[in-house]
């Protein structure tokens, strides 16, 4: 029997493979078919540890001109060393703050710090909250460093609805970062819910919520239930009686409906 040398077998295999590959390539569509050139992607400059060029600054360390108090009879918050802090006068009247302007879908960044001195535990330790929809939808701020409480009430939770995916809390007195994407709910003309509020959050660079669909306002008692309201409403920070501090607050306005309906190649929609 005639034997084919191993080297010849290898050569023939390579040749046949190359031939098949070339033939397959000829039958594939041109790569340009799936290249999208329009519309052009907007350019946003973002310096290292800086603020994006299209951001709206809500607090730059100097004043609270972008904010107003929810209770004119309450104690004012204090500004010092580039940050502001919930009033420390006790006994006191609770006094949250909210933005003078209204916002809908946003990417928001803030930095927060719980008091270095621990005086309590659970919900009484470094408690505050960031609210969208004029006090309706809260993503929780709490000192959750070695501090037990109910999971859907700790740092990074969507209060009383979703526990966070992780607990990246830093020690009391250390600054932390909170990055949030909020998509406001939409309502039909008859007041019924068209699409729920959605929230994604990162704390200290760690994912804590991923496109969580809210069941309604984040209520302290009872089950949540939506009622129609405008897309754009003030954003607020809670006075829970703890000396929580904030700095470096900015946001980028988004359009959730436009994000969901971005221009893509018609072929991809088939």
Of 233, 235, 218, 245, residue with least CA distance to 98? 235
Q: Quote the pLDDT of residue 1.
A: 52
Instruction: Assess if residue 65 is contained within a domain.
Output: yes
Instruction: Assess if residue 17 is contained within a domain.
Output: no
Tell me if residue 206 falls in helix, strand or coil: strand
| Structural domain of 184 | 56-260
As a whole number of angstroms, the distance between CA 90 and CA 96 comes to 15
Q: Under 8 Å CB-to-CB from 134, ≥6 apart: which residues? A: 98, 102, 229, 233, 234, 236
Of 175, 193, 120, 176, residue with least CA distance to 164? 176
Instruction: Assess if residue 19 is contained within a domain.
Output: no
Q: Quote the pLDDT of residue 198.
A: 98
Instruction: Assess if residue 86 is contained within a domain.
Output: yes
Instruction: Assess if residue 48 is contained within a domain.
Output: no
As a whole number of angstroms, the distance between CA 266 and CA 270 comes to 7
Q: Quote the pLDDT of residue 25.
A: 63
Q: Quote the pLDDT of residue 168.
A: 97
Instruction: Assess if residue 225 is contained within a domain.
Output: yes
Q: Residue 139 in contact with residue 112, Cβ under 8 Å? A: no
Q: Which CATH number goes with the domain that contains 201?
A: 2.60.120.560
Q: Quote the pLDDT of residue 91.
A: 53
Q: Under 8 Å CB-to-CB from 230, ≥6 apart: which residues? A: 102
Token pair, residue 227, equals 């009622």
Work out whether strand 193-195 and strand 83-85 pair parallel, antiparallel, or are unpaired: unpaired
As a whole number of angstroms, the distance between CA 36 and CA 86 comes to 49
Tell me how far the alpha carbon of residue 12 is from its chain's centroid. Answer: 58
Instruction: Assess if residue 120 is contained within a domain.
Output: yes
Reported as half-sphere exposure (CB side, CA atoms, 13 A), residue 43 has a value of 2
Of 139, 145, 212, 149, residue with least CA distance to 179? 139
Q: Quote the pLDDT of residue 256.
A: 87
Structural domain count of the chain: 1
Instruction: Assess if residue 247 is contained within a domain.
Output: yes
pTM reported for the whole predicted model: 0.86
Across the chain, which has 270 residues, the per-10-residue mean pLDDT values are 56 56 72 87 89 96 94 86 84 80 98 86 83 97 92 95 97 96 98 97 98 96 96 95 94 90 76
Of 250, 146, 144, 162, residue with least CA distance to 208? 162
């Amino acid at each position: 029997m005639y034997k084919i040398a191993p080297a010849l077998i290898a050569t023939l295999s390579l040749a046949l493979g190359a031939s098949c590959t070339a033939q397959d390539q000829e039958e594939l569509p041109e790569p340009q078919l799936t290249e999208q050139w329009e519309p052009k992607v907007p350019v946003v400059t973002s310096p290292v540890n800086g603020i994006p060029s299209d951001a709206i600054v809500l607090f730059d360390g100097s004043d609270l001109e972008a904010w107003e108090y929810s209770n004119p009879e309450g104690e004012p918050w204090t500004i010092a060393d580039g940050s502001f802090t919930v009033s420390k006068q006790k006994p006191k009247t609770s006094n949250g703050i909210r933005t003078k302007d209204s916002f809908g879908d946003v990417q928001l960044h803030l930095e927060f710090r719980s008091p270095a001195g621990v005086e309590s535990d659970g919900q009484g330790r470094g408690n505050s909250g960031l609210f969208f929809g004029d006090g309706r939808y809260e993503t929780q701020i709490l000192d959750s460093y070695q501090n037990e409480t109910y999971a859907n009430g700790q740092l990074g939770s969507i209060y009383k609805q979703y526990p966070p995916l992780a607990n990246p809390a830093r020690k009391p007195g250390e600054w932390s970062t909170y990055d949030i994407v909020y998509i406001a709910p939409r309502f039909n003309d008859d007041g019924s819910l068209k699409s729920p509020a959605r929230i994604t959050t990162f704390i200290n660079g760690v994912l804590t919520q991923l496109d969580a669909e809210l069941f309604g306002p984040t209520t302290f008692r009872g089950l949540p239930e939506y009622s129609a309201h405008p897309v754009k409403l003030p954003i607020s920070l809670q006075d829970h009686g703890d000396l929580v501090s904030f700095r470096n607050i900015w946001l980028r306005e988004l359009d959730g409906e436009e994000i969901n309906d971005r221009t893509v190649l018609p072929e991809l929609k088939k």
